[in-house]
């Protein structure tokens, strides 16, 4: 009997730093990160090539008070370092789970992680390794959403998966409006017209221009990542 094949062979998974906190106020919740790694391992065993971009809000939140009044570029570089810390934690959990993970940084920290080099990243993906892109784009004033769109386009990902705490894009805040409905799919123009705020404007425009679909789904739903890569009706698809 032939096993069902994934609908997507190469994906870019965008994780927020806050997703790693679990129920904690900041930092990394070990049980949460282990469960996420299990979801990623499941799809890699199916032959899906996975790259990850992760934010740093969970780490930076712990020092945010000291950043008040700080120069924006300096604060952004601190945020980039927070993403490196998260990337190392995620890669460590992946390696302990039997995956082979490589962290590549957009800023030079050669003693800690290797620099981002596109051909090397593509080689790692083709070898079945999970590549974690750290330090955003390497530039202040650009978010990790933009880094996800940029790296997704560079590596030829078939889709950017934005993993959130909500299982898709809704017509209104589902926590405040019980009648809010989840969109199964939206065009980029529809999402922009309704000002749904799926990603920051730069990231969203890049995905639209590169015809790179975005899938918004909940990383906290068991098996959701697998259902997404299998092409099932999970989350919200944003497309051209």
Query: Annotated binding site, which residues?
Result: 14-17, 56-57, 61, 76, 137-144, 164, 170, 173
Q: Binding site for UMP: what residues are annotated?
A: 56, 76, 137-144
Q: Closest Cα to residue 15, out of 44, 36, 38, 34?
A: 36
**166 and 220 in contact (C-beta within 8 Å)?**
no
Backbone angles phi, psi at 117, to 5 degrees: -135, 120
DSSP string across 99-154: --EEEEESS--TTTSEEP-HHHHHHHHHTT-EEEEESTTSSTT--HHHHHHHHHHH
Q: Closest Cα to residue 196, out of 232, 233, 158, 162?
A: 162
Residue owning tokens 């390794």 = 129
Q: Binding site for ATP: what residues are annotated?
A: 14-17, 57, 61, 164, 170, 173
Tell me the C-alpha to C-alpha distance, in Å, between residue 158 and each of 101, 146, 148: 20, 16, 13
DSSP β-bridge partners for residue 217? 163
């Amino acid at each position: 009997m032939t096993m069902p094949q994934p609908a997507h062979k190469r994906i870019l998974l965008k994780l927020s730093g806050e997703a790693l906190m679990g129920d904690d106020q900041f930092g990394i919740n070990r049980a949460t990160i282990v469960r996420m790694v299990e979801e990623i391992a499941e799809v890699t065993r199916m032959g899906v090539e996975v790259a990850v971009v992760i934010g740093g809000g969970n780490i930076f939140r712990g020092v945010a008070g000291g950043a008040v009044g700080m120069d924006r570029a300096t604060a952004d570089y601190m945020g980039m370092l927070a993403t490196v810390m998260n990337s190392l934690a995620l890669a460590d959990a992946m390696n302990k789970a039997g995956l082979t993970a490589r962290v590549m940084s957009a800023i030079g920290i050669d003693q800690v992680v290797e620099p981002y080099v596109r051909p090397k990243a593509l080689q790692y993906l083709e070898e079945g390794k999970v590549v974690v892109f750290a330090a955003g784009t390497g530039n202040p004033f650009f978010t990790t959403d933009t880094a996800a769109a940029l790296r997704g386009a560079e590596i030829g990902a078939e889709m950017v998966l934005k993993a959130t705490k909500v299982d898709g894009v809704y017509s209104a805040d589902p926590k405040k409006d019980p009648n809010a409905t989840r969109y199964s799919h939206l065009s980029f123009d529809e999402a922009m017209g309704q000002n749904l705020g799926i990603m920051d404007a730069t990231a969203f425009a890049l995905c639209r221009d590169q015809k790179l679909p975005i899938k918004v789904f909940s990383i906290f739903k068991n098996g959701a990542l697998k259902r997404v890569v299998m092409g099932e009706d999970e989350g919200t698809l944003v497309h051209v």
